[in-house]
Chains A and B, each alone.
Chain A
Amino acid sequence: MKKSGKKISPQLKKFVLIPPAMVLAMCIFFVALFFPVISDAVSIGNMFLSDKQVDYSKSFDNIFVPTADDSDTVNASDIDFPTINKQFGDLTIKSCDVDARLFFGDAAIPLRNGVGIYAGSFIPGYGKTILVAGHNNTYFNGLKNVKKGDTVKIRTSYGNYKYEVTETKIYNASSKKSYDLDADEENLILYTCYPFDQVGLTEKRFFVYAKKVSGPRIIGLYDEEK
């Protein structure tokens, strides 16, 4: 059977086929040459790549939905645990006009918009230390009027908590005596810069210590509670 159509000249074949073949050979050559560094380069490159579009906005997520539930316990599996920079509650001390959104984390976004729990401490209900920071010229300015016996209220989506102020103290910012994150009982510590109403940054901190009065205990956190 005779083949129909125009025959491609061997000259043209050379012009069209040899360059891609050479590119293939170049690829093999470069892969062989740079093989030891390719996986490292890919790993480093992946560190700077994300599947999601990066969000540079300074807005924050709010997962706080007030609840009227007054149970003594709440199961950990029922809690939408906050992540950094999320508002998950509010904190009020009526006696000294403190009323602020409560965030998890105490970096720029929380302190710009309210007060924040130090991420190395615990959220209410854990039975451990809750360390809350705020600026003394904004949301924690009212702490200058706080007194022993005042009530601090924290509302979260999983329960409402009350704490009673036991004492206030002033420490240097670098002092390690001001809080104990390993404490075995739930205690609330609020702190801010001291003295109040100063222009400039201060080296001292004003601490407010409070003990838990009421609020649900989080259960199902550890194996022994399962």
Chain B
Amino acid sequence: MKIFKNPKLNTVFSLILSFIMGICILACSLLCAVRFTVFNEDFLIETLNNTDYYPNLCSEISENLMDIGDASGLNKTFFEDFVDEVLVRRDVESYIYKFYSGRELKVNTTNFEKALRTALNTYISQNGIKSESLSQKNINYFVKEASDIYASGIALKYFPSIQKSVMKYTTRFNIFIAVTAVVAIAIALFFIFTNEWKHIAVRYIYYAFSSAALFTFIIPAVVFASGIVSKLTILTRSLNYMYTACINSVFTVILVIAVVLIFISAVLVIVHNKLRKNASG
């Protein structure tokens, strides 16, 4: 490359370009990791399916419903097997779809309320509860409170407060990914076309890839080695499962990207050596 007359200046300029290219590769990699995990509804749904989130959530909702059952004159057994995991799964998935499509994050409790009223009527007739112990007002109040407990269990904590940001950044992320990829490719092409000796061009491209690979590798390595994820303190066990699994998945994806970048770097070393041999031969 002969941009400047002084060869040292050319080297410094190439290193700066290589550094910028490395930053672009790194940014593109991290943005891709986030875009295809945190900003992807299928990722979240799959993560929840692969953890103990649903069984834990069902038992937590059941426990909270049992408390309100205690206050409402119902046997402990009433809510024991009441919470249906299939319904919970469907309602959580619907909540996630609403979150990513920017719709209002309101849990639809119609099915839950219907099932609760049916179960309550069966309980009243089976236990021979007298009419003086029944008041429609009290029952409605109980059903409303129970539905609120169910809705609060389904709703993913902290999601409403980040929904707008996620919506805003999803589009921006795509633009950033495209921009960083284009800049990295442009710099790589610049190296290739401005260097008479192609192995030198490959060496600068290697610097960019290997530094990005190293940085990308260090982030999850530090996170996993420090065990910081296990120190996460979230309201409930199920939410803890969810956030821990999501964070672990994001860093695993970053680790995979790092491995890919390391592989590309290794290939570039081989290509460099071959081109160098050809040039000297």
A interface vs B, CB < 8 Å? 14-15, 18-20, 22-23, 25-27, 29, 48-51, 53-54, 56, 58, 108, 111-112, 135-138, 193, 197-203
User: Which residues in B have their C-beta under 8 angstroms from that of A137?
Assistant: 70-74
Residues of A within 8 A of B214 (CB): 19-20, 23
Contact check, A112 vs B70: say whether CB atoms are below 8 A apart.
Answer: yes
Residues of A within 8 A of B26 (CB): 26
CB distance B70 to A50 under 8 Å? no
A22, B139: Cβ atoms under 8 Å? no
Are B233 and A49 in touch, CB under 8 angstroms? yes
Tell me if B210 and A203 are in contact (CB < 8 A): no
Alpha-carbon distance between A201 and B138 when the two chains are bound, in angstroms: 5
Instruction: Tell me the count of chain B residues lying within 8 A, CB to CB, of chain A.
Output: 50
Interface residues of chain B, those whose CB is within 8 Å of chain A, are 15, 18-19, 22-23, 26, 63-64, 66-68, 70-74, 120, 124, 129, 133-135, 137-142, 145, 203, 206-208, 210-211, 213-215, 218, 228, 230-234, 236-237, 240, 265, 269
Q: Give every chain A residue within 8 A of B66 (Cβ-Cβ).
A: 112
Q: Could you say which residues of chain B place their CB within 8 Å of the CB of A25?
A: 19
Q: Determine the distance from Cα of A112 to Cα of B71 in the docked complex, in whole angstroms.
A: 10
User: A200 and B240 in contact (CB under 8 A), knowing A51-B231, A137-B71?
Assistant: no
Number of A-B contacts (CB under 8 A): 115
B interface, by DSSP: helix, strand, loop or mixed? Answer: helix
> Do A23 and B211 touch across chains, with their CB atoms under 8 A apart?
yes
Is A199 touching B72 in the complex (CB atoms < 8 A)? yes
Which residues from A are CB-within-8-Å of B68?
Answer: 201
Pairwise interchain contact B129-A201, C-beta atoms closer than 8 A: no
Residue in A19, A56, A200 whose CB lies within 8 Å of B211: A19
Please state if A200 and B135 are interface contacts (CB–CB under 8 Å): yes
Given A49-B232, A56-B237, A108-B141 contact (CB < 8 Å): no
Distance, CA A49 to CA B129, complexed state (A): 49
Report if A48-B234 is in contact (Cβ < 8 Å); known contacts: A23-B218, A200-B139.
yes
Question: How far apart sit A20 and B265, CA to CA, in the bound complex (Å)?
Answer: 13
User: Which of B134, B203, B208, B211 meets A199, CB within 8 Å?
Assistant: B134
Asked if residues B73 and A15 are in contact (CB atoms below 8 Å), the reply is no
Report which of B18, B135, B145, B265 forms a contact with A198, defined as CB distance below 8 A. Answer: B135
A-B CB contact pairs (8 Å), 25 listed: A15-B203, A18-B211, A19-B210, A19-B211, A22-B208, A22-B211, A25-B19, A26-B19, A29-B23, A53-B230, A58-B63, A112-B67, A112-B70, A136-B73, A137-B73, A197-B73, A198-B73, A198-B135, A198-B138, A199-B124, A199-B134, A199-B142, A200-B134, A200-B138, A200-B140
A114 to chain B, nearest CB (A): 12
